């Protein structure tokens, strides 16, 4: 998401409700579906959290809306850059130790799939 769009997106936004496991309630506790009129009210085209994506979409006011600050956006971008640098070096996010890929599939249609762990502490290595 570009910087200008992030400035117009609510700090509490957790993603489209119900999509890919996203909650119906934002980080501020607002039930997004209820705010826009319920699940049958065309809620996907009426979001209180983000600027309109398409012509005809509308913005619904939310009393808890809070835009991201420049400092928050800078911090998020720095975190992503740091994570990508670790990924490129092949080290874990937690201990910066080499990644254990012993359980990654090495052949067949799912080649490259599988968990990656920190070789130092054993935590599953989660990426950004």
pLDDT band at 49 (very low <50, low <70, confident <90, very high): confident
Report the candidate in 105, 82, 106, 76 with the shortest Cα–Cα distance to residue 94. Answer: 82
Which stretch of 30-34, 65-69, 80-84 has the lowest confidence by average pLDDT? 30-34
Mean pLDDT of 6-29: 86
- Cross-strand bridge partners of residue 104: none
| Residue 128, pLDDT above cutoff 60 | no
Q: What is the rounded CA–CA span in Å between residue 90 and residue 74?
A: 24
pLDDT band at 24 (very low <50, low <70, confident <90, very high): confident
Q: What is the rounded CA–CA span in Å between residue 44 and residue 31?
A: 13
Q: What is the rounded CA–CA span in Å between residue 98 and residue 125?
A: 11
- Cross-strand bridge partners of residue 47: 59
In this predicted model, which residue has the larger pLDDT, 32 or 81?
81
Q: What is the pLDDT of residue 122?
A: 92
């Amino acid at each position: 998401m570009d910087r200008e769009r992030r400035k117009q997106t609510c700090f509490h936004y957790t993603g489209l409700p119900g999509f890919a496991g996203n909650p119906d309630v934002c980080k501020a506790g607002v039930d997004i579906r209820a705010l826009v009129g319920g699940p049958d009210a065309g809620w996907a085209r009426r979001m209180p959290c983000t600027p309109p994506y398409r012509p005809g979409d509308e913005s619904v006011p939310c009393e808890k809306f809070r835009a991201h600050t420049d400092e928050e956006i800078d911090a998020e971008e720095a975190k992503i850059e740091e994570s990508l640098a670790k990924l490129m070096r092949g080290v874990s996010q937690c201990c910066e130790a080499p990644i254990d890929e012993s359980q990654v599939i090495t052949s067949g249609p799912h080649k490259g799939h599988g968990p990656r762990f920190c070789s130092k502490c054993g935590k599953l290595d989660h990426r950004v």
